[in-house]
Structure 1
Amino acid sequence: MTTPLAISLGDPAGIGPEVILGAWARLRAERRAPPAFVVGGPGLLQQSAEALGIDCPIVPIASPEEATFASAVGLPVLALLEGQWNPGHPSQDGARLALASLQWGTKCALAGAASGLVTAPVAKGALAAIGWHYPGQTEYLADACARPYRDAVMMLAGPSLRTVPLTVHIALAEVPALLSVELIVHKARIVAAGLRRDFGIADPRLAIAALNPHAGEGGQFGDEEARIIAPAIAALQAEGIAAFGPVPGDALFTPRARAGYDAALAMYHDQALIPIKALEVDEGVNVTLGLPIIRTSPDHGTAFDIAGKGVADPGAMAAAIVMAAEMAKARAAASA
């Protein structure tokens, strides 16, 4: 990699600043740190590093082009934005800084000045108070990339498992009515294309979860498997996509089952997120597929309650940085 990654600050009152610092210090010590820069907050990050005793020199830079060389000295930080470090105390000023960092990082990725974007956690409530109208960063990024929300597919990825929730932030009671053959086929196509382009998997294997216990038990516990899920799998197979199922949810995540697929497509939020958080709690990465830019994020929130206490684990942020770099390499190789 020669084009650096952009890393957004997230809410400065959360654990974003300290996990960015901790992740960079860890990766640099292990000689695994890719070229990257943080979008804004050099003074804020310096204050955080000194207060928490994190050995991570801050190198203010004026443009992304300086990041690759500055990385040899410390953590490059674009000096165009600044704010206050006040851990555990979210504010509107902090939300504005988080939003500006996300916006500038997105612009850098879209313009090719950054090879990908790694986003630290934001507080949706604090952003809503300053006029933010998106459900989350994923929807914002889809809009910024001029893509419909449905094309921005969330995949949770770790060393031993990748999962995709086909429906996300909705009540469980609403899931059956939202499932359709078209929804499953559309999102499975995006997942398969993303695994090929960004992960270098030539023939991705997709396990499609059942909705009901025992995959409906022949219709005794629901008919969605026969009426919706199985026809979607057949349509995917007809296109040459290696999809199979419906696999009962209680059988999908055993070690033997996980060895048989590259990603599992789940019918609802918790069906996908419980196993990834149970198995990859410190290394889980949120990846957005279906966008023209690469985006990863640690699979955790702002954690205001522990911010500034020096106990936040930077493992997921380190994994998000490394995965974004690997995706950028895979994408470059695929387009060569």
Structure 2
Amino acid sequence: MAMRIGVMMGDPAGIGAELTAQVLAGGTMSKGTGVVIVGDPVHLARGQLVAGTKINVEKLEGVNDVEVVAGNISILPQSLDDAANYPYGKSKPEGGRYMLDCLETLLLLFREGRIDSICFAPLNKHSLKIGGMETADEGDWLTKRLGYAGHTAELNVIEGLWTSRVTSHVPLRDVADLITVDGIVDAVSLIDGVLKTAGKSNPKIMVAGLNPHAGDNGTFGKEELDVIGPAVQLANQQGFNTKGPFSPDTMFLSAKKDNYNAIVTMYHDQGQIAMKLMDFEHGVTVLGGLPVPISTPAQGSAFDIAGKGVANPGAMKAAFKIAEQMGAS
């Protein structure tokens, strides 16, 4: 049976269509994979023109025609107003609505068993907001649309190392109060499950400390003694392969040296700065915990270079390969 991936080309004002064209034309897709793109055929054609590619794409009539087979690329049309003249580099409500419509259709295809995973090119949150997205971000929007009540989180991936975080888009002054034993164990459980979906049978997971030198036995803070350490013990009791807390300033060096698969960080920038310094051009974001595997490049929509043919497809290629791996489980 084919690995069936639903693809969305991202913000039409950005680099998404040209990235999509490069990935699908450049040998990234495995022989056993089939793809259905949801979007405007003109949007794809513009991306191909910029990327200098020529993909053989089957145009479908409607959802009932979607039957993804290995080696085949099809497109399920989703209309974008005046797609041929849509301006690069500018957020517009029409583009936001178009992206939301494409994502809605991809979720429908998953519910109907027509695709196994989703990979979308870079979105733009402002475009989504002015296009009608009422949630904080696309992850919350997808969770709401799926009617999913379980724990979800944004995971980041570079060179085989994954990160999750206990807190995310919150003020730094609030982080210590938001870290709990249950929250840490939930973060460990979520990334363990996603890694197993991606093919790791017994993921090796590192848990970060919060304070300098992981508190140095309570000298610089007691969160490691009172919360993080007990959470690691509980996670191990529940069967997870977890160690910590590790000193935040050296944990990424230790993770690479000792072949850890993942790091659970305590807050957003504790993991994001290091990951982006390590390899920004190939970073991937996975929306972990959802019923459908979803991956996307960690880079933005890059309005400043859209349409110029200089966008690096490395992160989109990596996101597509992760969608293949996770959809196969």
Fold shared per TM-score above 0.5:
yes
Per the TM alignment, residue 308 of structure 1 is displaced from its structure 2 partner at its CA by 0.8
Q: Name the counterpart of 1:203.
A: 202
Q: How does 1:3-42 map to 2 (within 5 A)?
A: 3-27=3-27, 34-42=33-41
Q: Name the counterpart of 2:165.
A: 165
Cα-to-partner distance string for 1:9-54 (whole Å, 9 max, x where unaligned): 22110111111111112235x8668311211111121133224423
The two structures, once aligned, show a CA RMSD in angstroms of 2.1
Cα-to-partner distance string for 1:195-222 (whole Å, 9 max, x where unaligned): 22x1222222210000111000121211
CA distance in 2, matches of 1:230, 1:98: 42
Contact kept in structure 1, 2:15 and 2:303, CA below 8 Å: yes
Q: How many residues align?
A: 324
- The code of the aligned residue for 2:177 comes to A
Cα-to-partner distance string for 1:79-106 (whole Å, 9 max, x where unaligned): 2434414221221111111110111112
- The code of the aligned residue for 1:188 comes to V
Q: What's the TM-score once normalised by structure 1's chain length?
A: 0.90
Shift in CA distance, 311/103, structure 1 to aligned 2, threshold 3 Å: same
Cα-to-partner distance string for 1:164-189 (whole Å, 9 max, x where unaligned): 12211112111111111111012211
CA distance in 2, matches of 1:325, 1:261: 22
- The code of the aligned residue for 1:259 comes to D
Contact kept in structure 1, 2:97 and 2:132, CA below 8 Å: no
CA distance in 2, matches of 1:138, 1:167: 15
Shift in CA distance, 315/185, structure 1 to aligned 2, threshold 3 Å: same
CA distance in 1, matches of 2:136, 2:66: 32
Q: Name the counterpart of 1:142.
A: 143
CA distance in 2, matches of 1:162, 1:3: 23
Is residue 231 of structure 2 the alignment partner of residue 232 of structure 1?
yes
Q: Name the counterpart of 1:99.
A: 100
Q: Name the counterpart of 1:76.
A: 74
Q: Secondary structure at the match of 1:207?
A: strand
Q: Secondary structure at the match of 2:286?
A: strand
Q: What's the TM-score once normalised by structure 2's chain length?
A: 0.91
Shift in CA distance, 324/230, structure 1 to aligned 2, threshold 3 Å: same
CA distance in 2, matches of 1:4, 1:256: 33
Per the TM alignment, residue 255 of structure 1 is displaced from its structure 2 partner at its CA by 6.0
Gaps of 5+ in 1: 332-336
CA distance in 2, matches of 1:251, 1:158: 17
Per the TM alignment, residue 256 of structure 1 is displaced from its structure 2 partner at its CA by 6.0
Moved more, 156-165 or 253-262: 253-262
Q: Name the counterpart of 2:117.
A: 116
Q: Name the counterpart of 1:334.
A: none
Contact kept in structure 2, 1:61 and 1:67, CA below 8 Å: no
- The code of the aligned residue for 2:273 comes to I
CA distance in 1, matches of 2:310, 2:175: 37
CA distance in 1, matches of 2:60, 2:258: 44
CA distance in 2, matches of 1:52, 1:195: 33
Identity %: 30
Q: Name the counterpart of 1:155.
A: 155
Q: Name the counterpart of 2:265.
A: 266
Contact kept in structure 2, 1:208 and 1:264, CA below 8 Å: yes
Per the TM alignment, residue 59 of structure 1 is displaced from its structure 2 partner at its CA by 3.1
Contact kept in structure 1, 2:158 and 2:282, CA below 8 Å: yes
Cα-to-partner distance string for 1:227-261 (whole Å, 9 max, x where unaligned): 11001011111112111100011121116645332
- The code of the aligned residue for 1:275 comes to A
- The code of the aligned residue for 2:141 comes to Y
